[in-house]
Structure 1
Amino acid sequence: MKYIIYSILFLTLINCNTKTKQAVDKVITNDKIIIKGNVKNVTKNKLYLVGNNFSQFIDIEKDGSFVDTLTTSSGYFYVRDLKNYIELYLSQGNSLELFYDADNFEKSIRFKGKESVINEYLQKKSELKNTITGGEAQFSLLNEIDYKKKNLTLKKRSLDLVTPYDGLPESFIIKEKKNITYQYYLRFFKYIYLHAYYIKDRNFKPSKTFYNELEEVDITNEQDFLELSSYNKLIRDYYNRLIHNCSTSKEVSQLYNGINSNIIQKEILDMTLRSMGKKDYAIDTLYSGLRSLNLDRQTLADLEKKYRSIKKLDIGTPSPSFKYYNIDGSNTTLEDLRGNYVLIDVWATSCGPCKIEVPHLERLEKKYHNQQIKFVSISVDKKKHFERWKKYVHKKKLKGIQLFADESFDSDFIKYFQVTSLPSFILLDPEGNIVLSKAPYPSTPEMEKLLDDLLSKKK
């Protein structure tokens, strides 16, 4: 399973409606939300706001001030800079002012506006979480049993905090109790990839009983699906897991037909179509199962288009070529590597998980030295970071063939292989045909076994 802990920072923008300070409505209408304030020592000149099916960048002026009008429904949001992560509650027809110093966050954060008490409470809840868990890394490193115990403690203490909190509207308390419970269940899914990340073992799988408590979840609550981002995310993760476990097209069709809510079924179907090719689904099984559903014409067309784009990456199909700048000053094409298996590492200097794989990649290069395989690293750093890439490669003395993609993620070769997360590994055969468009990570036993089997057949 591929994952990048910071991938949320790069979600596709939805309903983007950024305005300058001068363009913000002077009068708040009932369908609008205004967020404004002042922040100090923020690394970038933007804040990133995420809600339920909503995301938006907010520009920060040179003096630290910001203001923006949002066209979205009331609910829970998260705002991020590169250092801090804040849970907010915003409602239509109201404005919220946010102030903090990114270098002294917990002591400096404050709010103004009708929802200031609610947001002060949410900050207290966040501080309680940090106190109980000790932070994300420490929490995620726990074994299953201890993690579940601490997760339950966090849920109970959070519920104890919200009920008597002075000044909270009763309507919010009812909604927040649900939110706390959904966040509790969501952490079961988070544990899987975060634990694997921190123990540096991507093959980690929880026990068969790990998910048992999720059987308690009501998976048909349309109102909460539309209003609570925690429930929305929980249901998406829940069905994503079930879809991955389907072994026949009949199971796929039964799963989707078994979703009693039309709203939830449509959202899960849309999620699946967006994820096809990005996740390790059994594509033919999934496609056949979805094809048997009673889909509208547009959804069916989207499914056919997505399926065709994935099938062109099937084993044995020819790979497109590339011509990229080589760290040695020349240009390298795929044709230059013919006669060898080619293991391609798509990476960037800003990608932490990419750097974790480097020692494992170098170990493979050493093991298969002088054998019929070339190791190629293609950087998708932006053009403005070209010199940074060169310095990094020289400083770290990176081995193999080091190339720089001409247009980052928009390079034809990178787009053809539908690379959306880093690192990504592609394996081609000596004739330039695809062996795997999503090859295992070098740190996994599967990669070494795969290369052993391929090279032994060539001897």
Structure 2
Amino acid sequence: MKKLIYLVAIALVIVSCKQEVPKDYLTFSGTITNQNSDSLIIAQRNIIKTIKVDANGVFSDTLKVEPGNYIFFDGKERASIFLKNGYDLKISLDAKQFDETLKYEGVGSEANNYLAKKRTLQEKLIDYEALMNMSKTDFDNKMASNSKEFKTLLMSVKNLDSIFIDSQEKDLEGLNKQFTSMFDEKQKLIALTGQVSPEFSDYENNAGGNTSLDDLKGKYVYIDMWATWCGPCKAEIPHLKKVEKAYHGKNIEFVSISIDRKNAYDAWKKMIVDEELGGIQLWAKEDNAFADDYLVTGIPRFILVSPEGKIVNADAPRPSSEKLTELFNALNI
């Protein structure tokens, strides 16, 4: 009898030990309604794994990861996801209402449902244009208010991994620093208003010869700083065409300055033809002085210069923004 009890005790210990061994991989499965693709991509800096999705939107796979933040991409939409070995995540999603319907179940669901709610909260709280046009006091107050709401959301979620909490706090700190830097840069650009515009000279004109900013005095000049490799720049092209057409023959010139490298020169020439680009198309010849003077750290950047050669707006509204038409109307262009 004692021997039997001893053997049972050993068996229980063995079973207990087996149960305590954590999985060295995670399981990711779910169902996607109205799917955008036949696969999901899990990525960080590079693609980690491509997961097949069947015709009914069902998928299931395993992968090994370092704990941290990743992106999953369904061919059209993307979302942040926190992954850690040992997780058993199940998602349900209607791709036509991606943010509104994304839900997680299973081990690791708490962190990822938080990320889905965080994304919705970001869309509600963060209006980039409104933020950038606030006074310094209002900006600081708004950032403090936003931080409080994000922290409240984070603290309201139970059973979060300490690594995850730490990463989210760092993300929030980084986001605040990023917006503060952008706001400070915007204030510097606003301070340029009314000053004599920096010059560019002898930029190659696709129509022939060279063109300088001084050649365009007497009219307003709406400048588009762009490059052939820039997706957001190319997204503005249809809108820019519409604006050019609406203001054709009026007291304004539309100038697009390519800051492409020399090795993209042929691509620049080709895109002008393929996209039927209008206005004055210039190539900066790798001269960064004009862009540097305007503190251009990202493109597209739009600039409006007066007929007298003074800065009207060093960070003018994009062609896709209704505020551009409002600005032109206010100036009686």
Tell me which residue corresponds to 1:446: 323
Tell me which residue corresponds to 1:422: 299
Matches of 1:451 and 1:392, distance apart in 2: 28
Out of 34, 45, 53, the position equivalent to 1:80 is 45
Matches of 2:66 and 2:167, distance apart in 1: 23
1:216 aligns with 2:95: no
Q: In structure 2, the residue corresponding to 1:80 is in which secondary structure?
A: coil
Tell me the C-alpha RMSD between the 2 structures. Answer: 4.1
Matches of 1:406 and 1:414, distance apart in 2: 12
Matches of 1:348 and 1:387, distance apart in 2: 12
Q: In structure 2, the residue corresponding to 1:455 is in which secondary structure?
A: coil
Higher relative CO (Cα under 8 Å, sequence separation at least 6) belongs to: 2
TM-score (norm 2): 0.61
Q: In structure 2, the residue corresponding to 1:427 is in which secondary structure?
A: strand
Tell me the amino acid that sits aligned with residue 319 of structure 1: S
Contact 1:351 1:422 in 2 (8 A): yes
1:435 aligns with 2:312: yes
Contact 1:316 1:433 in 2 (8 A): yes
1:17-416 residue pairs with structure 2 within 5 A?
Answer: 79-81=44-46, 84=47, 86=48, 110-111=63-64, 119=84, 125=89, 128-129=90-91, 131-132=92-93, 134=95, 138-140=97-99, 147=100, 150-151=101-102, 154=103, 157-158=104-105, 160-162=106-108, 177=110, 179-180=111-112, 182-191=114-123, 214=150, 216-217=152-153, 228-237=166-175, 240=176, 268=177, 271=178, 274-278=181-185, 283=187, 310=188, 313-323=191-201, 324-407=203-286, 411-416=288-293
Contact 1:224 1:232 in 2 (8 A): no
Q: In structure 1, the residue corresponding to 2:211 is in which secondary structure?
A: strand
Query: Deviation digits for residues 342-375 of structure 1, max 9, x if unmatched?
Result: 0011122222322232222112212222211000
Matches of 1:427 and 1:446, distance apart in 2: 13
Q: In structure 1, the residue corresponding to 2:119 is in which secondary structure?
A: helix
Unmatched 5+ residue regions in structure 2? 1-42, 54-58, 69-82, 129-145, 156-160
Tell me the amino acid that sits aligned with residue 232 of structure 1: K
Contact 2:258 2:284 in 1 (8 A): yes
The aligned length equals 249
TM-score (norm 1): 0.46
Contact 1:320 1:413 in 2 (8 A): yes
Q: Percent identity?
A: 32
Matches of 1:103 and 1:185, distance apart in 2: 24
Unmatched 5+ residue regions in structure 1? 1-77, 87-99, 141-146, 164-176, 197-210, 241-267, 284-309
Q: In structure 1, the residue corresponding to 2:240 is in which secondary structure?
A: helix
- Structure having the larger proportion of residues in strand: 2
